[in-house]
């Protein structure tokens, strides 16, 4: 796992930056943290997904948690949204947050998040927070915009008890697409077309697992997407063992990219 370098501040006046706070899969393959990406723009700083280990990873990266504006969720598996109860508890009790925090996610995320908070910290979902949580339900094909950030969700081929999305995120005139967890679907072409950065899950090397992509399948499809830059993430041990042999970039915990 890559050594972490402290992230100075959160907003970034020198162009957009994306940091892989966590680049791992659900099993912590390679000792990596669960999925969590931090986007730092000129006027906003937000997360894309917040897996179960994200609070630890954010603190290891010395992120100012109070500077985070919110989180956009691809789907409701624990390695993608399970860190939210810990992040919210920290905001209430440790960071002493006062300004609003947004959570945008698929239909059903509010009930699932409340149930998860109760399971992990009984009573926490009913305690009045000292800051507002501003929520938005994301729906496939409908662009949602607020606070200088816009996101268009595309249906992914994955199962999590609620809609699963690939996300096309617009901020500061840049486009970041993240596949979320998904098997190959033609919607990835629309989601990633011309993106400045296309982050794609690639769970296995040559065997297509249910609801996930293999490098064999993805490599044949990348030319049809036409993104300016491609980075692979969410890799299993087989993929990690061969990561240096690919002709595209691969993510690692702590890696920061200029977008």
The pLDDT tens digits for 125-139 are 999 999 999 999 999
What's the confidence (pLDDT) of residue 244? 83
48: left (phi over 0), alpha (psi -120 to 50) or beta: beta
Please give the Cα distance from 42 to 172 (Å, whole number): 7
State the total domains in the chain: 1
What's the confidence (pLDDT) of residue 10? 75
Please give the Cα distance from 221 to 259 (Å, whole number): 22
pLDDT per residue as tens digits for the range 49-87: 999 999 999 999 999 999 999 999 999 999 999 999 999
Whether 183 has a pLDDT exceeding 80, the answer reads yes
Whether 8 has a pLDDT exceeding 60, the answer reads no
The mean pLDDT value for 114-122 works out to: 97
Q: Is residue 5 part of a domain?
A: no
pLDDT category of residue 1 using cuts at 50, 70 and 90: very low
Please give the Cα distance from 173 to 80 (Å, whole number): 26
Q: Is residue 211 part of a domain?
A: yes
Tell me which DSSP letter residue 31 carries: G
Q: Is residue 53 part of a domain?
A: yes
What's the confidence (pLDDT) of residue 164? 98
Please give the Cα distance from 57 to 87 (Å, whole number): 11
Paired residues of 232 in beta bridges: 200, 250
**Which tokens hold the place of 81?**
């949204």
pTM of the model: 0.95
> With pLDDT > 70 as the criterion, what percentage of the chain qualifies?
96
Which structural domain, as residue segments, surrounds residue 193?
17-251
Please give, one letter per residue, the 3-state secondary structure of 97-135: CCCCEEEEEECCHHHHHHHHHHHHCCCCCCCCCCCCEEE
* Residue 230 CA: distances (Å) to CA of 56, 61, 131, 176: 27, 23, 37, 10
pLDDT category of residue 5 using cuts at 50, 70 and 90: low
Q: Is residue 256 part of a domain?
A: no
Q: Is residue 4 part of a domain?
A: no
Q: Is residue 1 part of a domain?
A: no
Is 8 exposed, middle or buried (CB count within 10 Å of its CB: 0-12, 13-18, 19+)?
A: exposed
What's the confidence (pLDDT) of residue 12? 73
Please give the Cα distance from 259 to 231 (Å, whole number): 12
Q: Is residue 257 part of a domain?
A: no
Q: Rounded to the nearest 5°, which phi and psi values hold at 142?
A: -105, 120
In this structure, what CATH number is given to the domain that contains residue 36? 3.60.15.10
Q: Is residue 10 part of a domain?
A: no
């Amino acid at each position: 796992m890559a050594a972490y370098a402290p992230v100075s501040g959160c907003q970034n006046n020198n162009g957009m930056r994306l940091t892989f706070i966590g680049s791992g899969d659900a099993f912590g393959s390679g000792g990596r943290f669960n999925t969590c990406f931090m986007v730092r723009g000129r006027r906003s700083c937000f997360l894309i997904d917040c897996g179960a280990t994200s609070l630890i990873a954010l603190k290891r990266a010395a992120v100012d948690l109070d500077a985070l504006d919110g989180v956009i969720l691809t789907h409701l598996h624990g390695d993608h949204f399970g860190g939210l109860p810990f992040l919210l508890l920290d905001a209430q009790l440790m960071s002493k947050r006062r300004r609003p925090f947004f959570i945008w996610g698929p239909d059903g995320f509010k009930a699932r998040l409340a149930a998860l908070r109760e399971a992990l910290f009984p009573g926490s979902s009913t305690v009045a927070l000292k800051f507002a949580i501003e929520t938005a339900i994301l729906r496939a094909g409908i662009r949602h915009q607020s606070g200088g950030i816009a996101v268009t969700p595309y249906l992914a081929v994955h199962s999590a008890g609620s809609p699963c999305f690939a996300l096309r995120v617009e901020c500061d005139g840049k486009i970041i697409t993240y596949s979320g967890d998904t098997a190959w679907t033609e919607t990835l072409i629309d989601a990633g077309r011309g993106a400045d950065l296309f982050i794609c899950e690639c769970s296995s090397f040559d065997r297509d697992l249910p609801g996930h992509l293999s490098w064999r399948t993805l490599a044949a499809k990348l030319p049809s997407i036409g993104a300016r830059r491609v980075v692979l993430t969410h890799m299993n041990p087989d993929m990690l063992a061969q990561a240096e042999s690919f002709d595209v970039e691969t993510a690692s915990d702590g890696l920061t990219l200029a977008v």
